[in-house]
Structure 1
Amino acid sequence: MKRKLVIGDIHGGFKALIQVLDRAQVKSDDQLIFLGDYVDGWSESSQIIAFLIELSKKQDCIFIKGNHDAWCEDWLSFRETPEVWLNNGGRKTIESYDAYSEIEIQQHLEFFQHMKNYDVDDQNRLFIHAGYSSMHGPEREVYSSNYRWDRTLWETAVCMDKKLSKNSELYPKRLLLYNEIFIGHTPTIDLGSKEPLHKANVWNLDTGAAYTGSLSIMDADTKEFWQSDPLPALYPDETGRNG
């Protein structure tokens, strides 16, 4: 049966991506939804993009754009190098493109440009990198940057009383818009978890692959998930975004 598999933040960890696709035994008829932040952190950012471009030719894939992807897109477009990006993995991403021709860089740029801000499936499940602040949903968001930067959605879900019913007037209206919400962006290791976290109706799949954690992939229907080895074990000579 066709599965809908959701992949958290990769951050340049190509070896981890290959591991989780293998461990989940991904088949050609599975749909893959990537929640963004493909680049910045470990040393194989450009290799990930090249792989995903080819993967998308034979697999049903949805690519959500993360904040790091927006930074990389600006660099590919205009060679912009803001210090905040360079200090958060951007330098390694630039280095990973050293051997690329202008034609190849243009192909990668077009890939970034076609990424989605979010996706809603036929079961009214939202897939977005970070979140949204509007109580009317992401389509009414005033600042599109919230798709890639907002943390208040996750913070709201984390702080909610577990006993609060969806029928309560106090249940956050923006969470009621969707049956489930799948996000990345904020590492679950910040809350002491190395695995995906479920708060209210929000699933967070950023399990800290940019730092000391692993990359995660989850079946959106069954909630079964698979993880790579911790990224420092896959890249023992590197520091990810820790250094």
Structure 2
Amino acid sequence: MKRTLVIGDIHGGLKGLIQLLELVKVSKTDKLIFLGDYVDGWSESAQVINFLIELSQKYSCVFIKGNHDVWCQDWLINQEINDIWFLHGGKSTIDSYQNVDLSTKEKHLDFFAKMKDYYVDENNNLFIHAGFSSMHGPEKEHYTTNYTWDRTLWEMALTMDKRIKKDSLSYPKRLLIYNEIYIGHTPTLNYNIEVPMQGCNVWNIDTGAGFYGKLSCLDIETKTFWQSDVVQSLYPKENGRNK
């Protein structure tokens, strides 16, 4: 049976990703949708990109771009270090590229360039790293940085008064555009939740793999989910994005 499988923020945790995909038992009929933030955190950011490039040659994959991917792409192009990025996982990414040759870096740049800002499937489900602010959807977004940075969509979905009906003029227009919306970017650990979270029709798949959480994958039809071990346990001598 064909599955659409959505995967949360990886943050350089290749061991967690490999473990997760083994649990999922990916088949040729599956579609894998990655929600971004492949880099910055654990020590294998460059190796994660290599792995994803190879994975896409075997399976149907969609790669959404996250804010950390934007930072990494800019560094690969300009070789200029963004101080904020450096403090939020960029150092580990730079270190992971120390022994990567120019040809491989060029392949990675091509991979970054082909990432999508967002993706809408045949069932009108939206997949985006962070969110959007336009009530007309991301294609009408005035500030494209919202694709990778917005948190208002998720915060609104979490705090919605469940007594407000969808046909009410008070119901948020952003939540009516799509059947379901899948995001990463904001770790569920912020709410003391270790598994994928739902707010209205928005699903958050970022379960904090870059910090002290697990990497998660969700089947969007059945809502079955799988998780790696706590990624920090797979890199016991590292801190990831933990301070």
Superposition TM-score, scaled by structure 2 size: 0.99
> What is residue 221 of structure 2 aligned with on the other side?
221
Q: Which amino acid aligns with 2:10?
A: I
Q: Give the number of aligned pairs.
A: 243
Cross-structure match for 2:114: 114
CA distance in 1, matches of 2:158, 2:80: 35
Is the aligned partner of 1:10 residue 2:6?
A: no
1:242 is aligned to: 242
1:177, 1:80 → 2: CA distance? Answer: 39
Match of 2:39 in 1: 39
User: Residue deviations 1:184-236, cap 9 Å, x none?
Assistant: 00001101100000001000000011111100000011110000001111111
| 2:206 is the counterpart of 1:206 | yes
**SS of corresponding position for 2:229:** coil
Stretches of 4+ moved more than 3 A in 1?
none
Shift, 1:86, TM fit: 0.2
Q: Which residue of 1 aligns with 2:93?
A: 93
Residue type of the alignment partner of 1:52: L
Residue aligning to 1:30: 30
* Consecutive unaligned residues in structure 2, runs of 5 or more: none
How far apart, in 1, do the equivalents of 2:153 and 2:118 lie?
A: 14
- Taking the aligned partners of 1:198 and 1:103, their CA distance within structure 2 comes to 41
- Amino acid in the other structure paired with 1:229: D
C-alpha distance in structure 2 between counterparts of 1:44 and 1:29, whole Å:
28
Shift of 1:167: 1.7
User: Could you say which residue in structure 2 is the equivalent of 1:128?
Assistant: 128
CA distance in 1: counterparts of 2:152 and 2:186, whole angstroms: 10
Displacement after TM superposition at 1:58 (Å): 1.4
Q: Which amino acid aligns with 1:14?
A: L
Classify the secondary structure of the residue corresponding to 2:241. Answer: helix
Amino acid at match of 1:190: N
Q: Which amino acid aligns with 1:17?
A: L
User: 2: distance between equivalents of 1:114 and 1:206?
Assistant: 22
Shift of 1:88: 0.4
SS at match of 1:242: coil
SS at match of 1:123: coil
Q: Structure 2: how far apart are the matches of 1:152 and 1:15? A: 32
Structure 1 CA distance for aligned equivalents of residues 79 and 164 of structure 2: 48
Partner-residue secondary structure (3-state), 1:86 = helix
The answer for unaligned runs of 5 or more in structure 1 is none
Look up the SS of the partner of 2:214 in the other structure: coil
In 2: Cα distance, 1:133 partner to 1:188 partner: 21
Shift of 1:164: 2.4
Q: Which residue of 2 aligns with 1:161?
A: 161
Letter of the aligned partner of 1:106 in structure 2? E
Residue identity opposite 2:179 in structure 1: N
Map of 1:104 onto structure 2: 104
Question: Structure 2 CA distance, aligned partners of 1:42 and 1:11?
Answer: 6
Displacement after TM superposition at 1:170 (Å): 1.3
Instruction: Describe the SS at the equivalent of 1:211.
Output: coil
Find the counterpart in structure 1 of residue 180 from structure 2. 180
**CA separation in 2, counterparts of 1:147 and 1:90?**
20
